[in-house]
Amino acid sequence: MNKAWWKEAVVYQVYWRSFFDSNGDGVGDLDGLIMKLDYIKDLGVDVIWLNPMFQSPDKDNGYDISDYYQVMEKAGDMKVVERLINEVHQRGMKLIMDLVVNHTSNQHPWFIESKSSKDNPKRDWYIWKDGVDGKEPNNWRSYFHPTPWEYDQTTNQYYFHSFAVEQPDLNWKNPEVRHEIYQMMRFWLNKGIDGFRMDVINLLAKLEGFPDTETPYNLSYLGNNPGIHEYLQEMNREVLSAYDILTVGEIPFVTPEDGLLYVGENRNELNTLFHFEVADDMKTWDMITFKQIQKRWYEGLNGQGWNSQFLNNHDHTRQVTRYGNDHIYRVQSAKLLATMIHTLPGTPYIYQGEEIGMTGVKFNHIEDYNDIAMKNKYLEEVAKGKDSTQVLKDLQLLSRDNSRTPMQWDNSENAGFSVGKPWIKVNPNYVDINVEADLNSHDSIFKYYKKLIALRKEHDVMVYGDYEDLLEHDDKLYVYSRTLNDITWIIMLNHSDDEVELRLNDMYAQKENTLIITNYADVNEEESLVQIRLRPHEARIYQI
Ligand code: ISL
C-alpha cells in the first residue's frame, strides 16, 4: 500500500453557514470561519472540507450553484476566500472545496440560455426530452421529488433533475460542458485549494436512453452508469493529475467492487470515496450490519483502494443520536464512536460539533425546518392524505437539519454562534453542550478527539495496519485488530448500554500489553486481557 499525505490526514468538515457568524446577520460566514481557525488547528486536524460557498439562490443550501466564479454574498467575497486559503495554509492545514458539477442552479446563466429555445447553443448543456403521451419521459424518481422531470412550457419539453426542480442536471455527454468544468476546477486549484470533495460524482453518466425501470421510483439507476469512468479518467488527465491534492468522491449506491473502480491506485480517477451503505442500510445502529459493511469494504478495496470513514455530515444526522446514546451515556458514546471511526481503515472525517458530542434536534413545527429534501418529502406524504403530525414525527430522525443547527460555542445566547437571529434554531441543549465547557474540562469529548488525532500522528499502525474483525457475530462488542509489522493494536468497543464480558482467545490474551487510550477514567492498567469486563459504551485500545 503506497503512503500518501491524504491517507494520514484527519479531515474536519465545516458547514460554514452554521459555524460562526461574524457580522450578526444570523448566518455563519467565511470571516467567522477564519476567526475560529485556531480552534480547528488546536484539535490537530490536517484538512478542512468547506461546503459550497459559491453564488447560489440557496434552495439547497449552496448545492444549487448559479456562478462557480463568484462567492455567495452571505458567505463573503473572493477576497475573504483568498484570505481563508492563506490563513489555513499559514496554520499548516489544507483546504478542500465541494465540487458540485452533476447539476447547477436553474438560475445559472447556462440554464437560462439552455431553456430559452431548442436551438440555443447551450440547449445541449442540459438534458431535455419530449414527454410520452403527455406525461414525463420515464418512471424514475429523483432524490427530492416523485419525478426527475420538470415540464417547461416555453419549449414544450421536460428537463432532467436528479435532485430538486431548481437543480437541473448538466449533460456530461457534451464535451463543451466537461471542458468548462475542468477550466473552473483549474481556476480554484490555481487559487491554492488542496482538492475537492466531489458531490454525487457517480451520477454524471446517465443511463443511455433513459428507459423505464422495472422497479419505478428507485434511485440506484441514477449512479454508476456506463461512461462514468471515462469522464473521471479524462478529469484526472485534464486536471487532477497536475496537482498534489485530495479528491474524495461522494458515491451513493455503490458496491465495494464498483467502488474500487473509482479509487483503485491504478485507476487514475479519485483518491478515496464516501460510500453510503451505513447511512442507507442502517436507519439506527445495528452492530452486525455495521461489521459486515466494514468487512465487505475492507475486502472489496483489497489494499488497492482507500476508504473514508464517517458517521455523520451535513446530510446525515448526528452520530451520537442516530447510532449511539445521546442521553445518559452521551460522553462515553461520543468517545466510543470517535475511537471506532479513527481506528477503522481509511481517512477519518469529523463533522463540525461531533468533537463536542452535539446531538440531533427535534423541532415541533415543519416551519422550523429548512432542508428542502425534508420539506418536499413532508409535502409529498401529506398530499397522500397522511396525518401531518405523524409525517413530521417520521421525518424528524433523518432530517438533514439535525446536523445543521448552529455550532454551540458557549452557553450565552444563541450558543455564541450569532448576535443576530440564527437562520435555523439552535439546539436548546447548547447550555450544557458547548465548546467552552469542553475546553474547560480535562476529560471532555474534545480532549479525547485531540488525543485520538495525536495518536494517528505517532502510530502508523492506525493508518496502514491490516484490519481483522475478532468477534464478527457479537451484537454488542466490536473488537478488531490493526497490525503493521510487529505492532498489533486491539480495539475493544462495547456499543451497548450493558456491562459485557470479553474473552479474547489465547493468541492475544497471554501477551504483554499496553493500554493506549480508553474513554473511562478508572481502568486498571494491570488488568490482563484474558477476561475483561467492558462497561456501557466503554472503548479501549491496547498495543500488544
Ligand atoms: O441527503 C440525503 C438524503 O436526504 C442524501 O441522499 C443526499 O441527497 C445524497 O447523499 C447527495 O448529497 C449531496 O448532493 C445533494 C445535496 O443536497 C447534499 O447536501 C449533498 O451532500 C445535491 O447536491
**What is the full DSSP assignment across 124-181?**
GGB-EE--BTTB-SSS---SSSS-SEEEETTTTEEEE-SS-TT-PBB-TTSHHHHHHH
Residue nearest atom 6 of ligand 1, based on CA coordinates: 143
Q: How many whole angstroms from its chain centre is CA 29?
A: 20
**Which atom of ligand 1 has the smallest separation from the CA of 398?**
4
0.90 surpassed by pTM: yes
Between CA 271 and CA 307 the distance in angstroms is 9
Q: Which of 381, 414, 448 is the last residue of a domain?
A: 448
- Whether 129 and 202 share a structural domain: no
62 and 43 in a common domain: yes
Give me ligand 1 centre to Cα 151, in Å: 23
Quote the ligand 1 centre to 315 CA distance (angstroms).
Answer: 6
Task: For ligand 1, pick from 100, 145, 160, 200 the residue to mutate: most ligand atoms within 8 Å of CB.
Answer: 200
Question: Does residue 436 have an active-site annotation?
Answer: no
**Do residues 74 and 209 share a domain?**
yes
Residue 395 is assigned to a structural domain of this protein: no
Three cell numbers written together for 77: 467575497
Q: Which of 60, 100, 143, when mutated, tests ligand 1's pocket best, judged by the most ligand atoms within 8 Å of its CB? A: 143
CATH number assigned to the domain comprising residue 328: 3.20.20.80
What DSSP string runs through 28-94? --HHHHHHTHHHHHHHT-SEEEEPP-EE---TTTTSS-SEEEEE-TTT--HHHHHHHHHHHHHTT-E
Q: Is the CB of 169 under 6 A from ligand 1?
A: no
Query: Ligand 1 centre from 199 Cα, in Å?
Result: 8
What single-letter DSSP state applies at residue 271?
A: S
User: Would you say the CB of residue 326 lies under 6 angstroms from ligand 1?
Assistant: no
Is 341 contained in some domain?
A: yes
What are the tens digits of pLDDT across the range 419-476? 999 999 999 999 999 999 999 999 999 999 999 999 999 999 999 999 999 999 999 9
Per-residue pLDDT tens digits of the chain, which is 544 residues long: 789 999 999 999 999 999 999 999 999 999 999 999 999 999 999 999 999 999 999 999 999 999 999 999 999 999 999 999 999 999 999 999 999 999 999 999 999 999 999 999 999 999 999 999 999 999 999 999 999 999 999 999 999 999 999 999 999 999 999 999 999 999 999 999 999 999 999 999 999 999 998 877 667 778 889 999 999 999 999 999 999 999 999 999 899 999 999 999 999 999 999 998 887 778 789 999 999 999 999 999 999 999 999 999 999 989 999 999 999 999 999 999 999 999 999 999 999 999 999 999 999 999 999 999 999 999 999 999 999 999 999 999 889 999 999 999 999 999 999 999 999 999 999 999 999 999 999 999 999 999 999 999 999 999 999 999 999 999 999 999 999 999 999 999 999 999 999 988 777 777 888 999 999 988 887 777 888 999 999 999 999 9
Whether residue 117 is contained in a domain is answered as yes
Measured from the CB, is residue 374 less than 6 Å from ligand 1?
no
Q: How far apart are the first and last CA of the chain?
A: 23
199 annotated active-site: yes
Between CA 13 and CA 352 the distance in angstroms is 6
Ligand 1 neighbourhood includes 542 CB (under 6 angstroms): no
Q: Which atom of ligand 1 is least distant from the CA of 252?
A: 10
Q: Is 149 found in the same domain as 58?
A: no
Give the cell for residue 327: 442521553
Residues 277 and 424 in one domain: yes
Q: What is the pLDDT of residue 213?
A: 85
Is the backbone of residue 259 left (phi > 0), alpha (psi -120 to 50) or beta? alpha
Same domain (yes/no): 36, 97: yes
CA of 314 from ligand 1 middle (Å) equals: 9
User: What pLDDT sits at residue 223?
Assistant: 86
Classify the complex by whether its ipTM is higher than 0.90, answering yes or no. yes
Q: Are residues 341 and 468 in the same domain?
A: no
Range of the domain at 260: 5-102+175-361+405-448
Catalytic residue of the set 31, 250, 401, 538: 250
Domain tally for the chain? Answer: 3
322 and 198 part of one domain: yes
